[in-house]
Structure 1
Amino acid sequence: MTRLQAVFWDVDGTLADTELNGHRPAFNRAFQDCGLSWHWDEQTYCELLSIPGGKQRVLSYAKRQEMVVDPALLERIRQSKQQHYLNFVSSGAVSLRPGVKRLLMELARADVQQWIVTSSGESSVKSLLQSFQADLQGIFRGMVTSDAVNRHKPFPDPYTLALHRSGADPEAVVVCEDSMPGLQSALAAGLRCLLTPSPWDRELEHCRHQAHAVVDHLGEADQPTVILAGPPCAQRRITLEYLQLLLSVPLR
């Protein structure tokens, strides 16, 4: 059987609950700083999350408002939002999803490569990583962020680049994702995908069957995983053994 060589992790909604408690309020503070009357409530933000990347969301929302955002204003929003996001992360407002730390540590002990592959900017990702506990520092071999590719998820480019940089065999990689664009990106790159769906991504209801496994979360001893699709999980937690099992599931 092929040995698991690498796990590619999405960030927002997969590693941590960053969207509603981190990025959304940070955007709203940035809009105030830049003299904009915009306010993204949870419903509006959940709708915008179908668009990968903060810059693209701002431009899409501006178009709805029949407003043109010039590059200088866009950069001011980006810088302000990043600072507010860092403040929210540092305050502990953003937490890892259940089972994430446990699985990160298990994979590290087994010397499985772990990479971040995200549509977020590098500075946002680094801010989140710096908030992790000391035993998680340096756990990722590298990252592919929105700054590294021209085409973001759902295009395969982020995962194709991660494969190139990691040197991993596509047959020996599992992707952890939470959204429709992420699932599409992983599948387009020819990779197996474990999906932990975010509740805001309603499109997933119609096509999450395309994932190689779907779970509510990765699971803890007191929070067992519910398998929504894919192979059964005897331990009721997603483990290295389960990810290894996914390598035997045919590629979609």
Structure 2
Amino acid sequence: MKALFFGSIGTIVETSEIQRQSFNLAFKEAGLNWYWNIATYCDLLRAPGGKKRIRNYSKSVLNENIVDLIHSKKEEYFEKFLSENLSPREGVTEIIDLCTKSKIKLGFITTTSLKNINSIKTALLGKLDFSCFDIITSIEDVKNPKPDSEVYAFALSELGLDKSDVYVIEDTKANQSAAIELGITCFLNPGEYALVGTNDNPNYKISKSISSIIKNT
């Protein structure tokens, strides 16, 4: 293994509930009689990308300007809600430290907005040093967000790596498919609200798995 990619915000930090609350406040401000309860939001997480979830829920009734406005408001609320007590997910700092000591490149390969990335950086200030990442991507780097594999092809090209050199951690089946489609080995480390079954082979001991791979490399 020459590189390890964390594939989304959800692989770094758990924000599902904050995201859900932010969406609901944005809907209210937009005058929509929408409310996403936990069950609804879990189901919507099958599709990556906030704008796509809004479109799917509206059954494409809303025009793009309204979708953009709602999503922008959602991100404003999300930024406000991020707590100073927010911490990296279990095992994240251990994995990063191990990779750094082993001279394994690190990537944060997401197709979320730069605004979201910067909000997470601020919320985790003093708890996670994002300068450890050799590459951080956003929606600005690609034409097609996940589950399209474009962002992974971009990351491999930028780092001069082959797909066989890299392992990926993703938090949902849809995001995982973006890596697998390109032929990259990807662990599924589900987020709090991700819908997964035992047949999906979720990995809840990701730091142990990565440590084992590094030791055997």
Unaligned runs of 5+ in 2: none
Counterparts of 2:32 and 2:87, CA distance in 1:
29
Q: 2:110, 2:151 within 8 Å by CA — same for their partners in 1?
A: yes
Q: Which residue in 2 is equivalent to 1:17?
A: 14
Match of 2:31 among 15, 30, 35: 35
Shift of the 205–162 alpha-carbon distance from structure 1 to 2, 3 Å rule, reads: same
Match of 2:125 among 133, 139, 148: 133
Counterparts of 2:215 and 2:197, CA distance in 1:
23
- Give the TM-score normalised by structure 1: 0.76
Q: 1:154-233, aligned counterparts within 5 Å?
A: 154-198=147-191, 200-208=193-201, 214-218=202-206
More helix by share: 2
Counterparts of 2:96 and 2:52, CA distance in 1:
30
**1:123 maps to 2:106:** no
* Higher relative contact order, chain-length normalized (CA < 8 Å, sep 6+): 2
Could you tell me which amino acid in structure 1 is paired with residue 112 of structure 2? S
Offset, 1:246? 7.6
Q: 1:197, 1:204 within 8 Å by CA — same for their partners in 2?
A: no
Counterparts of 1:144 and 1:166, CA distance in 2:
12
Could you tell me which amino acid in structure 2 is paired with residue 123 of structure 1? K
Offset, 1:187? 1.2
Q: What is the identity percentage for the equivalent residue pairs of Structure 1 and Structure 2?
A: 25
Counterparts of 1:167 and 1:124, CA distance in 2:
27
Q: Which residue in 2 is equivalent to 1:244?
A: 214
Q: 2:108, 2:133 within 8 Å by CA — same for their partners in 1?
A: yes
Q: 1:105, 1:136 within 8 Å by CA — same for their partners in 2?
A: no
Q: What secondary structure does 1:87 align onto?
A: helix
Output the aligned Cα RMSD: 2.3
Offset, 1:194? 2.1
The structure with the larger Rg is 1
Counterparts of 1:27 and 1:131, CA distance in 2:
19
Offset, 1:25? 0.9
**1:45 maps to 2:44:** no
**1:147 maps to 2:140:** yes
**1:86 maps to 2:79:** yes
Offset, 1:48? 0.4
Could you tell me which amino acid in structure 2 is paired with residue 215 of structure 1? N
Could you tell me which amino acid in structure 2 is paired with residue 109 of structure 1? K
Counterparts of 2:216 and 2:151, CA distance in 1:
21
Counterparts of 2:193 and 2:79, CA distance in 1:
23
